[in-house]
Structure 1
Amino acid sequence: MLTLPPLSLYIHIPWCVQKCPYCDFNSHALKEGVPEDQYVDALLTDLKQDAHYAQGRQISSIFIGGGTPSLLSADAISRLLSGVRDLVPLQPDCEITLEANPGTVESDKFTGFQQAGVNRISIGVQSFQNEKLTALGRIHGKNEALRAIEQAQQAGLDSFNIDLMHGLPDQSLEDALSDLAQGIAMAPPHMSWYQLTIEPNTLFHSRPPTLPDDDILWDIYEQGHKVLQAAGYRQYEVSAYHRIDEHRANETNDYRCRHNLNYWRFGDYLGIGCGAHGKITLPLQNQILRTSKIKHPRGYLAAKQQFVDQQSFIANEDLPFEYFMNRFRLFEAFPISEYSERTGQPLSSVEKTLADAEQQGLLTIERQHLQLSLKGHRYLNSLLESFLAD
């Protein structure tokens, strides 16, 4: 039987100064100023229509992503978050993250965001080397990245994250470790360190750059992981690390991204804004609903009342793959009973697959808890294929 999991809120801001050649997110290059008042109005109307999906739950985290949310003014973010509080209840310690591009951050903007209610900033640095930033189509340079991090440190936030990429065009092991060393020197509480991948429908897909070979990529990952560990960062997800702080040891007050944890634990989330996706558990129907909103800003702003583009239920036969595809991104152990609680499916539907995986050394089952092994993480794609419906 399905039980209601924790609930988050994702808010999508679709505009960027320019589209990066590797980006496959729903983002649109600005041709004129951001219509922020009109868009905030639409977002709040969108949320009002979805508010009943909260089903009595408080919002545990909010993530304002994009696009480039830091293009919005602090006043717009303040009005947005105030409107959200009027429509859905928030947990007292709700984590509220806003993504920021160093090239769109003015000297006092982070302080304004913090005063508006944002308590966590995620800064899209990607690299500290100007030539690599140019190759990635970024509009900022090294100095702007360092200045943005310093502003986040001074803004009185609960936490902040920096995004760093590796496996960049023509990147050497030394280049990658240099970026990582610069990032660590800034002492962010959280780091997202992930490999550049070439996605369909991007400029890099149609005009592929020269990327490092597999041996260099593995050396970058292996040595970079050791560097992060030695600097006091713990990997808790495939591409996410948080600084270990003995004074912030419990889950409600540590440096992991609670919003992403809820995604990977197969929690629920409302999605508002252009192209935003949502996942909603409906216990009475014993089903899970997927929603997506109108993608293009022009169409979204013209919608007025009907923002949903598509919605569908996840088929029962697809639930094992959907659940484990998310859950196995995390390095933590978790109770086996969670599978049935989050999917509504009996444990018997996956018992043989789990037993086979344990025999192969891909995971361990102990005291009714399941945990992926290091071997399991290395061969994750093959393991996940075993949960696909025939």
Structure 2
Amino acid sequence: MRNSPAGLLQLPPLSLYIHVPWCVEKCPYCDFNSHAMRGELPEQAYVAALLNDLRTDLNWVQGREIVSIFIGGGTPSLLSVNAIEQLLSGIRNTVALSHDCEITMEANPGTVEADKFAGFVKAGVNRLSIGVQSLQSEQLNLLGRIHDPQQAVRAAQLANKLPINSFNLDLMHGLPQQQLDGGLADLQQAIDLGAPHLSWYQLTLEPNTPFYRQPPALPDDDVLDAINEQGHQLLEQAGYQRYEISGYAKPGFECRHNLNYWTFGDYLGIGCGAHGKITLPEQQRIVRSVKITAPNSYLAASPNVRLNVHDVAKDEVAFEYFMNRARLRQPAPFAEFEQSTGLAISAIEPFLQQQQSNDTMILTADNWQMTDKGLNFFNQVIAPLAD
């Protein structure tokens, strides 16, 4: 490993995250900032507030183009096509977008129709992320989802026919009462739908959710391990590459927005409860921001919606970097760590050497890279940096 002085922060690429907080119903496993819809959505007021929010954060752009936009939630597809068109038009009039800016929008199969999908694309969306979660009726009922398998299949088929760059299917495993055959059958059905990108992740019981307070009967560790191992093989045989912990993509279809997150890039966060991360090279600082969480409070406070802005402490920045970067399989140059954190690579040399001994990382003269074992034991890998 090379010796180097302390690094200097450099300006990374910039993305934009937009949070839409409403859902038809709140799922019992969900700990995101989402709220069951009651009555008509205040979409015109919310779009105006989002654009005011963006204008408030313009000083953090620092001359950069936006390389990706992600409209998440909640269920953004509850908004009308007109609202999404106004939002994206307002963004283009406020900040510069790269010529190939990836614009992703989350959608649920039960809340979209063919004409609405096409309308979102016409408004500028070029990537869809569809929350399928399962393709089995029983599992969808246990998860509190409002769509059925036929709607999920139809949504994927519609996405496949649209003039967009890519689409993703969100699929969970380790579901209540799920066994190996059921987990693999669910995954095979999703593969057969032809999505260029699959987010395949295990259900976890998050605090402050109904599932956490009253846990369902989940598969035991042996079943989970078997689903993970054999599911990974299924995906590889189908031509998907595991490029991050729960992200699988056909070559060239990785989610660019997520890649910017995981490589410790910058992002503006606008909307209720949205988080942002910004590098300020001239001040050698990294700051994180969060916006007001409750929709009514957010709307009432516009444009003064920043709830908190704080510096990432120097003794926490290495942990924050690895909490993101260690999700990826691709090699990470030592120079990237120094430019992203302002620290010398020598500051974490003992940590890297220990991970190499644990077979969770591979080290070369210029970079480090996670192994499959490291990805599978991600939390244990980064834990020493949190001490």
Quote the residue 2:343 is aligned against: 345
Corresponding residue SS for 2:208: coil
Q: Does 1:30 align with 2:37?
A: yes
Select which of 353, 375, 382 maps to 1:377: 375
**Which whole-Å CA distance do the structure 2 matches of 1:269 and 1:226 have between them?**
34
The question of 1:355 aligning with 2:353 is answered yes
Distance in 2 of aligned mates of 1:272 and 1:83 = 13
Looking at structure 2, the residues matched to 292 and 59 of structure 1 have their Cα atoms a distance apart, in angstroms, of: 19
- Which string of whole-angstrom CA distances, capped at 9 and with x for unpartnered residues, describes residues 280-326 of structure 1? 00111111000000000000000122110111001000011110111
Paired residue secondary structure (2:57): helix
How far the C-alpha of 1:106 sits from its partner, in A, is 1.6
Distance in 1 separating the partners of 2:169 and 2:375: 24
> What amino acid is aligned across from residue 200 of structure 1 in structure 2?
P
1:112 aligns with 2:119: yes
Pick which of 257-266 and 360-369 moved more. Answer: 360-369
Q: Secondary structure at the match of 1:2?
A: coil
Report the Cα offset of residue 380 of structure 1: 2.6
The offset of 1:382, in angstroms, is 2.2
Q: Do the aligned partners of 2:137 and 2:148 also contact (CA within 8 Å) in 1?
A: yes
2:267 to 259, 266, 269: 269
Following superposition of structure 1 onto structure 2, how do residues 124-203 of structure 1 map, counting pairs within 5 Å?
124-203=131-210
Among candidates 54, 57, 79, match of residue 64 of structure 2 = 57
TM-score (norm 1): 0.96
Aligned match of 2:285 in 281, 287, 297? Answer: 287
Contact kept in structure 1, 2:118 and 2:162, CA below 8 Å: yes
Q: Is the partner of 1:310 in helix, strand or coil?
A: strand
The amino acid that maps onto 1:347 is I
Q: Does 2:232 correspond to 1:225? A: yes
Q: Does residue 302 of structure 2 align to residue 323 of structure 1?
A: no
Cα pair distance change 1:305/1:340, threshold 3 Å: same
Amino acid at match of 2:204: T
- How far apart are the structure 2 equivalents of 1:47 and 1:381? 33
C-alpha separation between the residues in 1 aligned to 2:377 and 2:156?
Answer: 35
Instruction: Give deviations 1:245-296, integer Å, cap 9, x for gaps.
Output: xxxxxxxxx2000000000000000000000000000111111000000000
- SS state of the match for residue 316, structure 2? helix
Q: Which amino acid aligns with 1:339?
A: F
SS of residue matched to 2:68:
strand
Distance across 2 between alignment mates of 1:239 and 1:386: 22
Q: Is the Cα contact below 8 Å between 2:245 and 2:376 reproduced in 1?
A: no
Q: Which amino acid aligns with 2:151?
A: E
Map of 1:4 onto structure 2 = 11
Q: Which runs of 5+ in 2 are unaligned?
A: 1-7
Letter in 2 for 1:297: P
Q: Distance in 2 between matches of 1:381 and 1:300?
A: 33
- Which of 94, 107, 129 is the matching residue for 1:100? 107
CA drift of 1:202 comes to 0.4
Out of 122, 125, 129, the residue aligned to residue 122 of structure 1 is 129
Q: CA separation in 1, counterparts of 2:275 and 2:65? A: 19
Amino acid at match of 1:94: C
**Higher deviation after alignment, 354-363 or 23-32:** 354-363
- Per-residue deviation, 1:42: 0.2
TM-score, normalised relative to structure 2: 0.97
Shift of 1:341: 0.3
What do residues 327-359 of structure 1 show as CA deviations (whole Å, max 9, x unaligned)? 010011121111110011122211122122223
> What amino acid sits opposite 1:95 in the alignment?
E
Number of equivalences: 380
Name the SS for the 2:374 alignment partner: helix
One-letter amino acid of the structure 2 residue matched with residue 328 of structure 1:
A
Partner of residue 89, structure 2: 82
TM-align CA RMSD: 0.9
Letter in 2 for 1:270: L
The one-letter code sitting in structure 2 at the alignment partner of 1:333 is P
Bigger relative contact order, structure 1 or 2 (CA pairs below 8 A, ≥6 apart): 2
Counterpart-to-counterpart distance in 2, 1:183 and 1:305: 42
TM-superposed CA distance for 1:243, in Å, is: 1.5
Secondary structure of 1:284 counterpart: helix
Shift in Å at residue 27 of structure 1?
A: 0.3
Task: Report the residue type matching 1:377 in the other structure.
Answer: L
* Amino acid aligned to 1:337: A
Shift of 1:360: 3.1
Counterparts of 1:39 and 1:6 in 2: how far apart (Å)?
27
SS in 2 for 1:212: coil
AA in 1 matched with 2:96:
P
Q: Secondary structure at the match of 1:12?
A: strand
8 Å CA contact retained: 2:272, 2:294: yes
Spell out, residue by residue over 1:33-91, the C-alpha distance to the aligned partner (whole angstroms, 9 max, x if none).
11111100000000000012010110000000000000011111011001001111100
Q: 2:51 aligns with which of 44, 48, 54?
A: 44
Local SS of the residue matching 1:114:
helix
In the TM superposition, what whole-angstrom CA distance separates every residue of 1:91-122 from its partner, at most 9, and x where no partner exists?
00000000000110022111000000000000
Q: CA deviation at 1:156?
A: 1.0
Q: Which runs of 5+ in 1 are unaligned?
A: 245-253
